[in-house]
Chains A and B, each alone.
Chain A
Amino acid sequence: MENLIEIKNLHASIDGKEILKGINLTVKPGEVHAIMGPNGSGKSTLSNVLVGHPAYTVTEGEVIYKGQDLLALNPEERSHAGIFLSFQYPVEIAGVSMTNFMRAAINAKRQALGEAPLSAGDFLKLMREKRALVNLDSKLANRSVNEGFSGGEKKRNEIFQMAMLEPTLSILDETDSGLDIDALRIVAEGVNKLKRPDTSTLVITHYQRLLDYIKPDIVHVLYNGKIVKTAGPELALELEERGYDWIKNPQ
C-alpha cells in the first residue's frame, strides 16, 4: 500500500458556508505532517471532516483511506479503521466513567475487527499500562469523561485514549493550545512513544513550539481553505519568524 490517506480536491461547508475550497494532501505510512495556518483558515474543519462530524457537509472531492472511500463510512467506522482525532476542545460527558467509556470503545473496535471482547482483567491491565505513558492519575480514570479536568488533563486524557486505541492515523487538532510548557512536553512525549514505523500523524497547529517536540517530515500551510505552500520542516521555522502575512499577501 503506497498511500495511507489521499485527499483529493476536498470541498466542505458548514451552515451553507464553504470553508474548505479544494484540499489536496497525501500522507504515506510512517510520515508526520504538520498543517499550519492562521486562525479561520480551515484547519479544524479539515480534521472534523476527516472524522465525519455531522455538522459539516462535503460538497466535492474524495478521500481514499487504506484504499477505501473514507467519506462513505460513519464516524465510528472511521474510528475502527484506525483514525483518531485528539479534539481541540474535548467534550465533558457527565455520569459516564472513563473506564466504562474506554471499555465500550475498545470492545466496539474489537468487535468490528472480529475479535472477542477483552476480559475485565485484561482491560484493566491495559488501562494501567497506557495510563503510565502519559502520567494520567488513576483518580482521573475513575471520574466521568473529561468532567472537571483541567485543560492539561483533558489533553493528556486525549493522548491516553490514543494509546488505548492504537490508531494508524492520528490527527492532533491544536493539541498544544492551552498547555504550559511542562504539560506540552508530557503530551508530546506520549505521542512520540506511541509512534510506530507504520503509523502516521497529522499535527494541526498554529505555532511552531509543538513541532520542537513532534518533528514533522512535511509542513503545509493552509490558508483560506486551500493548501498554499508545502515544504520541509524548515517552513515551520520560517513561519515562526515571519508570521503568516507573507503567505496572505504574496509579493
Chain B
Amino acid sequence: MKNETEYIKLFEENRSLIDNPCATLLNEHRPAAFAKFAAQGFPTIKDEAYRNSNVEKLFATDYGVNLGRVKMGDNPREGFTCDVPNLATRQEFIVNDCYQSEENSNSSLPEGVLLGSLNAYARTHGELLAPYYNALACNGDSIAQFNTTFVQDGMLLYIPRNTELKETIQLVTLLRSNIEMMSNRRLLVILEDGAKANLLVCDHSSNEKATLSTQITEVFLGNNASLNLFELEETGYANNRLAHLFVRQMGYSTFNHSCITLTGGFTRNGAYVSLEGEGAEANLSGLAICDKQQHTDNHTLVEHKVGRCTSNELYKYILDEQSTGVFAGKMHIYPDAQHTASQQTNRNLCLTSCARMYAQPQLEIYADDVKCSHGSTVGQLDESALFYMQQRGIPKDEARHLLMFAFAGEVIDSIGIDALRDRLHILVEKRFRGELNRCKGCALCKQ
C-alpha cells in the first residue's frame, strides 16, 4: 500500500492548496471520493476488472502534480494547430490538466451553449451542473475516486434543449512537461432533450518524460439527444492514460463513440453506458494498433436498464512486437429490459509470437425476450488472401499492409463524419508504415 499512502498523505496535507483554486462543486465531492479511494487503494491484478492490466505499477513513478495551478508553457494556440482538412472545428485546449481559456470565445456559439473550463463554469453555473457532476463517476472504481479526489479542472460542454451544434468541437489535450507529470482531467458533457453535437478529443504529447493522465468523461443525454464522441490517442510510449467514460442515456437518444488508440504507453479506456430510456441506442467502437511495449485495454459495460434499447460494440486490435491487448466487454440486460438488441464483436490480430491478447466478452442476461450475441476471435492475416495478392504482383509486405488496413477499416468506416474518417484512414496507414511512431507537434496536420 506504499503508493496509496503517498497520495493519501498528499491529499490530507494539501487540502487547501487543492481546494483554493476550485469551485465548491468540485471540492464538495472530494471527501466522499477520498474516503472510498483510501479504503480501496489502487486496483491490483487480483481485481477481476484489472486482472490483465497492472495499473498499480503505473503509480509507482514519482510524478509531479500541479496542485498550485502553475501555468505551464505558452498559449498552445500559438504554434500548435491540430486540424482535420475540410472539417470545420472549434478548438479547445487542455494543457496537462489546465483548461486554456480564450476571451470572448463563446460569442459564435448558439445561445445557451456553454463551452469552456469546467472549474470556471462550476463557479458561475454551480446549480445547473450540480445534478450532473460526479453523478455517474461516484459509482466508479478507485481510479475514478482518485480522479474526483484530485481533479481541479477540465472542460464543460452544455447544450440546451433542441439546440444543434453544427461545428464539431475539438478538444486537444496536450501533455507538456519537463518532469514526470500526472494530470487529472474531467470532461462534463450535458445534452438536454433534442440537443445534438459532435465532440472530437485528441490526446497529444510533446515530451518524452513519463506522464500519467487520469480522465473522467461524464456524458448525459436527454430524450432524443445525439452525441458523436471521437477519441484519438496519439501520444508517446511514455504517456500513460487511465480514462473512464460514463454515459447516461434517456429515451431515443443516440450515442456513437469511437476510440482510436494509435500510439501511447499504457492505456486503459473504460466505457460504462447506462441505457435508461426506451429506444436509446449506443454504438461503441474501438481500434488499437499497438507495438513495442504498448498496452491497450478497453473495458466496456453496457447496462440495458429498460426495454427496446439497442447497443452495438465493435473492437479491433492489431498487436505487433511485444504489445498487449485487453478487451473485456459486458452486456448487462436487466430483468425488465425486454426487446433488447445487443451485439458485441471483438476481432484481434496477433502479428508476433510475443504479442499477447486477453479477451473477455461477457453476457449477463435477466430478460428472456432479447436478441444478444457476442463473438470474439484471435487470428492472423488470411494466408490465401496474401497469396492471391502476390499472384497479382503485389509484394508480400504490401499485401500485409492492405489486409491490415482493411481489418482496421471496419472501425474507421463507422465514423459518421466524412472528413474525419478520411483523415483517420490516412493516419492509420501512416501508423502501419511506421511514420507515426512519435507525435511531433501534431500529426493531424504536419505530415
- B396 to chain A: which residues have CB within 8 Å? 74, 76
The answer to whether the Cβ of A183 comes within 8 Å of any Cβ in the partner chain is no
Please determine whether B402 and A75 come into contact, CB atoms closer than 8 angstroms. Answer: no
Please determine whether A93 and B406 come into contact, CB atoms closer than 8 angstroms. Answer: yes
- A84 to chain B: which residues have CB within 8 Å? 391
The answer to whether the Cβ of B106 comes within 8 Å of any Cβ in the partner chain is no
Q: Given A94-B406, A96-B402, do A101 and B392 touch, yes or no (CB 8 Å)?
A: yes
Contact pick for A108, options B384, B394, B406, CB 8 Å: B394
The answer to whether the Cβ of B74 comes within 8 Å of any Cβ in the partner chain is no
Whole-angstrom distance between the Cβ of A204 and the nearest chain B Cβ: 15
Please determine whether B394 and A104 come into contact, CB atoms closer than 8 angstroms. Answer: yes
Please determine whether A54 and B395 come into contact, CB atoms closer than 8 angstroms. Answer: no
**Nearest chain-A residue to B401 (Cβ)?**
A104
- B120 to chain A: which residues have CB within 8 Å? none
Contact with A along B378-414 (1 / 0, CB 8 A): 0000111101111111111011001101110110000
Please determine whether B407 and A85 come into contact, CB atoms closer than 8 angstroms. Answer: no
Q: Given A76-B396, A91-B382, A104-B398, do A144 and B390 touch, yes or no (CB 8 Å)?
A: no
- B398 to chain A: which residues have CB within 8 Å? 104, 108
Whole-angstrom distance between the Cβ of B388 and the nearest chain A Cβ: 5
**Nearest chain-A residue to B402 (Cβ)?**
A96
Whole-angstrom distance between the Cβ of A77 and the nearest chain B Cβ: 9
Interface residue SS majority, chain B? helix
Q: A interface, how many residues as a size bin? A: 20 to 34
- A75 to chain B: which residues have CB within 8 Å? 387, 390-391
Alpha-carbon gap, A51 to B383, bound state (A): 15
Contact pick for A76, options B383, B385, B393, B403, CB 8 Å: B393
**Nearest chain-B residue to A86 (Cβ)?**
B391
Please determine whether B402 and A91 come into contact, CB atoms closer than 8 angstroms. Answer: no
Q: Given A79-B393, A95-B410, do A101 and B387 touch, yes or no (CB 8 Å)?
A: no
Contact with A along B402-433 (1 / 0, CB 8 A): 11011101100000000000000000000000
Q: Given A104-B402, A144-B406, do A93 and B388 touch, yes or no (CB 8 Å)?
A: yes
Please determine whether B385 and A93 come into contact, CB atoms closer than 8 angstroms. Answer: yes
Alpha-carbon gap, A53 to B389, bound state (A): 12
The answer to whether the Cβ of A161 comes within 8 Å of any Cβ in the partner chain is yes
State which residues 72-112 of A face B: CB under 8 Å. 74-76, 78-80, 84-85, 87, 90-96, 100-101, 104-106, 108-109, 112
Q: Given A91-B382, A104-B398, do A74 and B390 touch, yes or no (CB 8 Å)?
A: yes
The answer to whether the Cβ of A136 comes within 8 Å of any Cβ in the partner chain is no
Please determine whether A51 and B391 come into contact, CB atoms closer than 8 angstroms. Answer: yes
Whole-angstrom distance between the Cβ of A149 and the nearest chain B Cβ: 13
Whole-angstrom distance between the Cβ of B393 and the nearest chain A Cβ: 4
Alpha-carbon gap, A139 to B393, bound state (A): 24
Please determine whether B387 and A53 come into contact, CB atoms closer than 8 angstroms. Answer: yes
Whole-angstrom distance between the Cβ of B318 and the nearest chain A Cβ: 13
Most B CB contacts (10 A, CB to CB) among A54, A78, A80, A104 go to: A104
Residues of A within 8 A of B (CB): 51-54, 74-76, 78-80, 84-85, 87, 90-96, 100-101, 104-106, 108-109, 112, 144-145, 161, 165
- 14 residue pairs of the A-B complex, CB under 8 angstroms, read A52-B390, A74-B390, A75-B391, A76-B393, A85-B391, A87-B391, A90-B388, A95-B407, A101-B394, A101-B402, A104-B399, A104-B402, A108-B393, A165-B393
Q: A91-B384, A108-B393 are in contact. List 11 more A-B contacts (CB 8 A).
A: A78-B391, A80-B393, A84-B391, A90-B388, A91-B382, A93-B385, A100-B402, A101-B392, A104-B402, A105-B389, A161-B392
